[in-house]
Amino acid sequence: MEASSWDALRKQARRLEAQLDDQMSAYRKLISMKSDGSENDIESDIERSLKQLQQVNSQMQTWVSSGGSEVLSHTLTRHMEILQDLTQEFYRLRSSLRAKQQHASLLDLRDFDRAKFDVDEGADSSDQALLKEQAAINRSTGQMDNVISQAQATLGTLMLQRSTFGGITTKISNVSSRLPTINQILSSIKRKKSMDTIILSLVASVCAFLIFIYWMSK
């Protein structure tokens, strides 16, 4: 690969990060306003940009794994952190919007119940109980969505980190025969990689469990 390829990837990553900042700003403004359905378009745009940035980071990851310097590795780590922050912020904002929409829906239902109560006072006791139950379910669902979203973002970051350590381990193995002292460093990295594997497995298990609970609660 030529140096210009790395520069092009960095330029593309910075462009996507700036684009996501603008999209997030528009999304925040939308949340503060009354929902008109346009949030679906913005959410689709943000998800598309996040996916593109993930792909660019993966290409940069391949560059670093194939022999990039420590400076390039630090640069990649920074871009990975930015992606994680943007992803978590998007999930947080989306959960907030969903909670707001559910709250508005419950208010509309409550207004309907009040109108019905004016017509027939004896008919709304069961509706009130149903409204409370629905509110509790909606709160639980919103909280579960937020937890799952954060777990998915963390899982993606751990997978990228695991891939990074794999590439570094391969490069160190190539020179360990000439530099015996590298063996100690290699052992430490292998232990770190094993720990990351355990953490990744635990996060994946928690995600699967939360998704199962989420679907059971519906």
**C-alpha span between 98 and 20 (Å, rounded):** 20
Return per-residue pLDDT of the chain as tens, 218 residues.
455 688 999 999 999 999 999 999 999 988 877 666 677 889 999 999 999 999 999 999 998 888 777 888 999 999 999 999 999 999 999 988 888 878 766 765 555 445 444 544 444 555 556 666 665 665 665 566 555 556 666 666 666 666 555 555 555 555 555 555 656 776 777 677 677 777 777 777 777 777 767 667 66
Domain segments of the chain as ranges: 1-113
The predicted structure's pLDDT at residue 123: 42
**C-alpha span between 137 and 140 (Å, rounded):** 5
The predicted structure's pLDDT at residue 125: 57
The predicted structure's pLDDT at residue 170: 59
pTM of the full structure = 0.51
**C-alpha span between 48 and 107 (Å, rounded):** 33
**C-alpha span between 49 and 18 (Å, rounded):** 10
Here the tokens at position 126 are 């069961």
Specify the CATH number of the domain 1-113: 1.20.58
- Residue matched to tokens 């022999």: 67
The predicted structure's pLDDT at residue 84: 95
**C-alpha span between 29 and 32 (Å, rounded):** 5
The predicted structure's pLDDT at residue 114: 54
Give which of 55, 52, 54, 72 is closest to 63, Cα–Cα: 72
The predicted structure's pLDDT at residue 112: 47
**C-alpha span between 116 and 173 (Å, rounded):** 75
